[in-house]
Amino acid sequence: MSFKLEEEEYGVNVLKVREIIRMPSITRVPNTPHYVEGVINLRGKVIPILSMRKRFGLPEGENSSQTRIMVMDMEGELMGFVVDAVSEVIRISESEIQPPPAVVNSAVEQECLSGVINQTERLLFFLDLEKLITQDERRLFSGMM
């Protein structure tokens, strides 16, 4: 599944994506990391919502009609990630994922990148979401639910 932040495009394993929703009203939670927007009630289940822009140190932008929350399964827990836009589901083979270069001109922390997908007109940074959120952060988020 590919999505956009700023002008860059990223990909995650579509099997991790549970659903994509429009921006609902988000309830703020005090004393959380700066990139945590708050929580939402998704059909009776409270899930934490994280801003991918803030997590990667990008400037905050206004939400648009394209802004979405990607609800992902993170080791059995649901978490929502705010992205600028969801692009498409792309079918790729393992062989198409190249190792990330040592220095990538991307806002993403190097250890979160599991590879780069080079398609004719574009580069896609493939993310390892499990490395994006630490165990301590997961414990904090599970306490929010």
Percent helix, percent strand, percent coil in the chain, to nearest 5:
20, 45, 40
Contact assessment for residue 49 and residue 83, using Cβ atoms and an 8 Å cutoff: no
- Indicate the pLDDT class of residue 108, thresholds 50, 70 and 90: low
Per-residue CA distances from 45 to 41, 78, 143 (Å): 5, 9, 13
Q: How many Cβ atoms from other residues are within 10 Å of residue 124's Cβ?
A: 21
Q: What is the mean pLDDT of residues 111-118?
A: 81
Residue 109 scores a pLDDT above 70:
no
Q: Where are the alpha helices (DSSP H) in the chain?
A: 52-55, 129-132, 135-144
For residue 106, give the DSSP letter: S
pTM: 0.85
- Indicate the pLDDT class of residue 103, thresholds 50, 70 and 90: low
pLDDT digit string, tens, across residues 46-84:
999 999 999 888 888 888 999 999 999 988 889 999 999
**pLDDT given for residue 47 in this prediction:** 94
